[in-house]
Amino acid sequence: MGEWKIDPRLCWATGLCLFIVLLLALRTFTVSWPAMKAEGFDWVRQFNRREAERDTRHWHVLEGRHVTFRYCDDDAGLAPAVLRDTERIYPQVTKLVGFDPAIKPLVLLYPDRESFNGVFGWKDQSAMGVYYAGVVRVLSPRVWSRDDADMAGPMAHELAHLVLDYQTGGNIPRWFTEGVAQEAERRLSGVSLSQPKGDWASRLYPFAAMDGDFDSLEDQRMAYRQSLLAVEVIGDAGPEALTRTIDGLSEGKTVAESITAATGWTWERFVEKVHAAADKESRSNR
């Protein structure tokens, strides 16, 4: 019979695997779940950014003080102006949110609807901008506007999503980030969505649905208006209430806990206030 031996490489690999398992087990007991979740989101953002940089490696690059800006040949004449607007907008967004990420955001300007929608496999989406996992993507204003100044709103909106994502480590409900992004868009461009039609106050969505199924909600206009209204209600509690709520999320608290700590309201009281504000607004526009 032959002699049975253990390959030294197998011992090394087994030891490494055991070390990694032990390290992860120790982290489970020494690091909070919110911290581990935030670290996981950070890995996703880093990976997605590297992928975006690779996919756009042949694009032109402009380095601003605050952002890295990439664009295609079709927007060579427009790109410097869009970058200037972005550089002006970004510090205002960080001031509104109350946080300035250590990273330099990557902003990609897409030359046409086909290439923009193709990133996510969309067929009939009409979005002008999207933030996803550390990268801001915007559609060239050549496609949808005659006025380059119109770019301020979509850019402020997507940059707000980015800042909030980095500050909270991804611990943020969809409706909340949409509400703050709309507030940034309104403050910096003066533009906001028109109100939903009819008695929309009686049709408000449960906030659980506003988080998990936002994009699937039938009345998107109402979902966005409800998101902004909820953020406005938080702001009514005081000038620091919104930033304190965001701070709570960044500490790993739930949105209910964060709102209570920032405003003194229970979650139920907050929901009542949102419904009352919606009813008042709906009645005033009948």
Q: Mean pLDDT over residues 250-259, rounded?
A: 97
Shared-domain flag, residues 124 and 189: no
Assign residue 109 the CATH number of its domain: 3.30.2010.30
For position 40, what pLDDT does the model report? 78
Q: How far is CA 148 from CA 70, 127, 151, 163, 183, in A?
A: 17, 17, 6, 24, 21
User: Does residue 94 or residue 12 have the better pLDDT?
Assistant: 94
Among residues of the chain, what percentage have pLDDT more than 70? 85
Shared-domain flag, residues 157 and 185: no
DSSP for 189-216, written as a single string: HS--PPPPSSSGGGGPPPHHHHHHSGGG
The string of pLDDT tens digits covering residues 5-64 is: 333 443 444 454 555 556 565 655 555 656 666 677 788 889 999 999 999 999 999 999
Structural domain count of the chain: 2
CA 185/CA 151 separation, integer angstroms: 10
Shared-domain flag, residues 137 and 176: no
The string of pLDDT tens digits covering residues 168-207 is: 999 999 999 999 999 999 999 888 877 887 788 999 999 9
For position 20, what pLDDT does the model report? 53
The string of pLDDT tens digits covering residues 17-31 is: 555 556 565 655 555
Shared-domain flag, residues 178 and 55: no
Exposure string for 109-146, b = 16+ CB within 10 A, e = fewer: bbbebeebbeeeeeeeeeebbbbbbbbbbbbbbeeeee
For position 24, what pLDDT does the model report? 60
